[in-house]
Amino acid sequence: MKKILLYVGLTLGVMTNVNAQSNAKTEKKIDEIINQLTLKEKVAMCHAQSKFSSPGIPRLGIPELWMSDGPHGVRGEINWDDWGYANWTNDSITAFPALTCLAATFNPELSHEYGVAIGEEARFRKKDVLLGPGVNIYRTPLNGRNFEYMGEDPYLASVMVVPYIKGVQENGVAACVKHYALNNQEEWRGHINVNLSDRALYEIYLPAFKAAVEKGHVWSIMGAYNQVRGEHCCHSDLLLNKILKGKWNFDGAVITDWGGTHDTKQAAFNGLDIEMGTWTNGLTASAKFAYDNYFLADPFLKLIQDGEIDESVVDDKVRRILRLMYRTNMNLNRSLGRMNNVEHTQAARKVAADGIVLLKNKNGFFPINPDTNIKIAVIGENATRSMTVGGGSSELKAKYEISPLEGIKNRFKNATILHSIGYASGPSAYGREIPSKLNADSLVKAAVNVASKADVVLFIGGLNKNHFQDCEGGDRKHFELPFGQNELIDKLLKVNSNLGLVLVSGNAVEMPWLSQVKGLMQSWYNGSEAGNALADVISGDVNPSGKLPFSYPVKLNDNAAHYFGELSYPGDSINQYYKEDILVGYRWHDTKKIKPLFAFGYGLSYTDFKISDLNTDKQIYFKGDKIKVSCMLANTGKIKGSEVVQVYIGKPKSKVDRALKELKGFKKVSLDPGKEEQVEIEISVDDLAFYDESISDWNLEKGTYIIYIGNSSDNIIQKQKINIK
Ligand code: BGC
C-alpha cells in the first residue's frame, strides 16, 4: 500500500520519521520530551482519561492514545465514560473469525493476512492500540473466553500469534497481547489466586506470550485480572518485572485489563505502565475529574511528591508510553488504513473456511453437491443467529454478517431449503441470562415436522455468545449442549437419519449422539463471512483442512483440570491449584491413556493423504543444532486438498515427569490429487529443553528422544529415535 506522509502538528521541533522499531534517535527524543514534562503531566500519561483513551500532553502536541477491542475486529465506539455504545454511524467493520478458528487453520501465513487486515481497520478507525490477540491456554472446556484464544498447545499458539502481531503492527497500530497471564477461566477472574508449578508456568502458560514479545516484538501487553502467587497480574513483580521486562527484555508498555489495578505502590513498582478501566463515577456524579482518583493518578503523584516513590519510576513508565507512541500515533510514516474493502472480506472468508474442521464423514455425507435439487432441512438456532453480537468485550458491530442459512441458500440455488430453529436461547445480554419466551415444545414439533419432509437434515447448533455460554464474565455451567439440543437431535434422528451436524462454538461439547449422525463439522464464530465460508466447505468448493486446536474429552472429568476436582477448577473462590501441572490437553490424554473423543490436531479432508518416509538429517545432535525432519506426503484421493503434517517429540526416561509427546513443528501443505511432495520441518534442539525447577532455568537433557510424525496427536504414522549429546 502507498505510504502517505501526514502532517501532524507536533511542537517539539522537527520530528524525524521513525521506523517501527525503536532506535537511538527516538530514545534521545524521548529523553528530551521527558525533560520537558512536569511531574503532573508524566503521571497523567499513566492512566486513562476515558473508557478507551489515555491523555497526551496538549501543550506539547503529544497526542492521546486511543485503544479498542478486540481480537476479532475493531469494536464499535464506546461512550467516553460508560460502557454504552456511542451510536456512531461510521464504525461498522469487517468481523473476522474468532481466534480458535485462526488457530485451527494451522496456517501462519493466514494469521499474517488476518493481522494486516484487522490492523488496517484499526488504523482507519484511528486506533493506536488494538486490544488483542489473546493467547491464554485452553485449560477447561468450560472457560467462557476460550473462543478468543488459540487453543491448548503452547507451540501452536506461539507460532500463530507472531504473524498476527506483525501484521497488525505493520500498520503503525500496536497489538496488545492479552491476558498476561493465567486468566484461564472467567469464574472469579477478578481475584482468583492461581497456584501452579514453575514448570507449568514456563512450559505451558507463558510460551505464547514469550513468542509475542521475543519474536513478534509486540509493543504492548495487557495484564490479567486474576492473581498469581498472591499478587494481581496487572502488578505482579514475578510476571512483569522479573519475567516480561527482565528475562524477555520487553521494551513496550504494560496496560491493565480494565479494572485490573488494585494498589498504587504495587502498580508503581511492579511494572505496570498504563492503568485503564478502574471503576469511576466518571463525568456524571463526581465533583472532580474522576480519573484523577485512579491508583496511578493522584495517589501515585502524592507518593512521588512525598518522596516515597522516586521520580525515575514514573519516568520509566512515560519512556515506555512515548516509545509506544513513536511506534504508533507519533509515527508520521504510518499508512492510513482501510476498512470493509474486498481484501478484508476475502481474508475473513479464507480464514473461516480454512479453520472449519471436519470431524466425521460417514459414507461421504459431506460434501453435498451444490447443484442438487433435493430438499435440505436446515435446523437449529445457530443457522440464523448473529454471532458477532454478544460474548463481552469482543462483541462487534459488523457491517454485515452472512448467517449459515444465508450462505447455504446462496450456494445451493437448485435445492429447496427448509428452515426451522428447533430451539431458542433468548437474547444475549452481558452478565445475565434472559430466557427465550418462545414455546420450546412447539419449536421442537415444527423442526421435527420439517426434518421429516427433507432429503437431508443439517443441524446447525452448538453454543452462542450468551452469558454462561461462550461469553466473557462467566464460565459455562455444563459440558453438554444447552437449550435442549441433545433431545432435539434425538427426535430429528428418529424421523430422518440422513443427518449431518454443524457445531458453531468456541469450545468442546459432549456428544451423546455422535455415533448416529452421518457427518459432523466444527465451525467457529466466523464473523462477517461465516455463512459463505460454511457453504464453501459444505458444498466442496473448499476442501476442509482445519485441525482441532484443543482436545475434545468424552466427558468433563476426562479433562485434566476437572479430573482433580474443585480445587483445581474452579478453585475455592480464593485459591485454585493447577494440579494437572504440565499435562494440559493432549499431553494429559496421551500420557494418561485417556482416549479423547476427538484429539488435538485432528481433522478430516474430502481427499486422502499418506504420510511416509520419516527421516532426520542426522542421528546425533548438539545444543544449538537444528533437526531437519522430513517425510513424504502424498494426496492419494481424487481432489486437491491440504494436510497438516505434525511433528511431536517425546523424551523417554527423563529425570522429570514429561508428557508422552509435545508438538514441536507442523506444516500445512496443499497437494493436487495423485501428487506427492517431500515435507521438511525444522526444529531447534533447544526447544526440547524442559524448565528445570532445581536450577530455575531451561535444561536440555541429553539422551534419546522420539520423533513422532502424523496428522493428529492420536494418529501417529511413524516414529524415529534421535540422540542429543
Ligand atoms: C476484558 C479485556 C478487554 C477490556 C476492554 C475487559 O473486561 O477482559 O479483554 O480488552 O475489558 O474492553
pLDDT in tens, 455-510: 999 999 999 999 999 999 999 999 999 999 999 999 999 999 999 999 999 999 99
Return the pLDDT at 16.
34
Structure confidence by residue, pLDDT tens digits, 214-227: 999 999 999 999 99
Structure confidence by residue, pLDDT tens digits, 84-98: 999 999 999 999 999
Return the pLDDT at 18.
36
Structure confidence by residue, pLDDT tens digits, 255-273: 999 999 999 999 999 999 9
- Measured CA to CA, the distance from residue 601 to residue 661 in angstroms comes to 13
Q: What is the pLDDT averaged over residues 203-212?
A: 98
Q: Report the nearest atom of ligand 1 relative to the CA of 176.
A: 10
Which helix or strand (DSSP H or E) is residue 626 part of?
strand 626-635
For a mutational test of ligand 1's pocket, the pick from 83, 393, 396, i.e. the residue with the most ligand atoms closer than 8 A to its C-beta, is 393
651 lines ligand 1 (CB under 6 A): no
Ligand 1 mean position, distance from CA 217 (Å): 22
Q: Which of 69, 257, 558, 590 is catalytic?
A: 257
Structure confidence by residue, pLDDT tens digits, 642-663: 999 999 999 999 999 999 999 9
Which helix or strand (DSSP H or E) is residue 323 part of?
helix 311-327
Return the pLDDT at 284.
52
596 lines ligand 1 (CB under 6 A): no
Q: What is the pLDDT averaged over residues 431-440?
A: 96
For a mutational test of ligand 1's pocket, the pick from 66, 69, 234, 394, i.e. the residue with the most ligand atoms closer than 8 A to its C-beta, is 69
Q: What is the pLDDT averaged over residues 660-670?
A: 98
Cα–Cα separations (whole angstroms), residue 14 to 5, 11, 18, 498, 630 = 14, 8, 12, 71, 54
Q: What is the mean pLDDT of the chain?
A: 95
For the record, the C-alpha cell of 299 comes out as 495517589
Ligand 1 mean position, distance from CA 10 (Å): 31
What confidence tier does 286 reach under pLDDT thresholds 50, 70, 90?
Answer: low
Q: What is the pLDDT averaged over residues 607-618?
A: 98
| Alpha carbon nearest to ligand 1 atom 7, residue | 258
What confidence tier does 279 reach under pLDDT thresholds 50, 70, 90?
Answer: confident
131 lines ligand 1 (CB under 6 A): yes
Q: Report the nearest atom of ligand 1 relative to the CA of 178.
A: 9
Burial of 288: CB neighbours in 10 Å, binned 0-12, 13-18, 19+? exposed
69 lines ligand 1 (CB under 6 A): yes
What confidence tier does 20 reach under pLDDT thresholds 50, 70, 90?
Answer: very low
- The rounded Cα 635 to chain-centroid distance in angstroms is 31
What confidence tier does 81 reach under pLDDT thresholds 50, 70, 90?
Answer: confident
What confidence tier does 602 reach under pLDDT thresholds 50, 70, 90?
Answer: very high
Q: Evaluate if residue 12 carries a pLDDT over 70.
A: no
SS3 per residue for 50-67: CCCEECCEHHHCECCEEE
70 lines ligand 1 (CB under 6 A): yes
Q: What is the pLDDT averaged over residues 681-695?
A: 98
| Alpha carbon nearest to ligand 1 atom 9, residue | 393
Q: Evaluate if residue 289 carries a pLDDT over 80.
A: no
178 lines ligand 1 (CB under 6 A): yes
Q: In the annotation, is 251 catalytic?
A: no
Q: Which 3 state secondary structure label does DSSP give 622?
A: coil
| Alpha carbon nearest to ligand 1 atom 3, residue | 393
258 lines ligand 1 (CB under 6 A): yes
If phi > 0 it is left, if psi is from -120 to 50 it is alpha, else beta; for residue 721 that is beta
Percent of the chain at pLDDT > 90 equals 94
Return the pLDDT at 175.
98
Q: Report the nearest atom of ligand 1 relative to the CA of 70.
A: 10
- Measured CA to CA, the distance from residue 545 to residue 54 in angstroms comes to 43
Spatial CB neighbours of 6, under 8 Å, sequence gap ≥ 6: 332, 336
Return the pLDDT at 6.
33
Q: Evaluate if residue 589 carries a pLDDT over 70.
A: yes
Structure confidence by residue, pLDDT tens digits, 154-193: 999 999 999 999 999 999 999 999 999 999 999 999 999 9
- Measured CA to CA, the distance from residue 484 to residue 425 in angstroms comes to 10
Q: Report the nearest atom of ligand 1 relative to the CA of 69.
A: 10
